[in-house]
Structure 1
Amino acid sequence: MRLSRSLASATAAVCLVMSPPYDAMPHTRVAAREAAPPEPFGASCRSQVTGSRVTAYCHNPYPRTDGVRLHIECARWWDLDTDGAEVAAGPAQTVRLTGRCWKEVRSVWVSHRKLAL
């Protein structure tokens, strides 16, 4: 019985030593600073493949200019994949991007980059 009392007091002493002071613990009343939400950016694009030709339309509804590029991966190993030139899609502007393969198209995507215009 005496052994359990000494074990209990030793455990309580260790817990008191290991616990951080009250000031070190965060208070629930203090709200943490939240990061500002990211600025909306990026034109919405839709693409259409007709045979070996690709057309993409990108509309930018945001105030920041978006640099969009059309990328085309062709299905045949000997057919060259293409990366189109960057086109600036200004605020409330729609741009058309075109490209083609000699034969079939495997995949199409549009990349975006923030421009400082």
Structure 2
Amino acid sequence: MRLFRSLAPAVGIAVALVLCLPYEALPHARVEPAGPAARPEPFGAECRTTVRGSQVVAYCHNAYAETDRVRLHIECDRWWDLDSDGAPADAGPAVTVRLTGRCWKEVRSAWVSHQRG
């Protein structure tokens, strides 16, 4: 019992010092990436969409080696105006494609979807 009483302050100080250490200094289990397959290849064309009145134009440039199938989607503002999904276009490596669409009146939103080709 005496030994425990004499060690109690030392144990308390040791615990306090460990709790004050920064997170990086504490031991952790490190997980390394499995290899080149763990990192996905870059993919996806960069698209710039412009809305002028009821017309929508999107230019998509693919800077990567894999073909990107892009598609323009338009949501119209009026309830009676039909929303549209454009035909898909293949943007090959180093290729820029132009996508167009329109509403009868105002455009609420327009976006481009991407799919591996």
TM-score by length of 1: 0.71
Structure 2 equivalent of residue 44 of structure 1: 46
Question: For residues 72-115 of structure 1, what are the alpha-carbon distances to aligned partners after superposition, in whole Å with 9 as ceiling and x for unaligned?
Answer: 00000000000001100000000000000000000000000001
Structure 1, unpaired ranges of 5+: 6-25
The one-letter code of the counterpart of 2:97 is V
Q: How many residues align?
A: 96
Superposed counterparts of 1:1-117, under 5 Å: 32-35=31-34, 36=36, 37-115=39-117
What residue identity is the alignment partner of 2:72?
L
Structure 2 alignment gaps of length 5 or more: 4-27
Alpha-carbon displacement from aligned partner over 1:12-65 (angstroms, at most 9, x marks no partner) = xxxxxxxxxxxxxx97xxx63414411000000001111100000000000000
Give RMSD over aligned pairs.
2.4
Structure showing greater radius of gyration is 1
Query: Would the alpha carbon gap of residues 62 and 4 (structure 1) be closer, same or farther in structure 2, given more than 3 Å must change?
Result: same
Runs of 4+ in 1 over 3 A off after TM superposition: none
Determine the C-alpha separation between the residues in 1 that align with 2:78 and 2:2: 80
Q: Structure 1 vs Structure 2: percent identity of aligned residues?
A: 66
Counterpart CA distance in 1 for 2:42 and 2:86 is 25
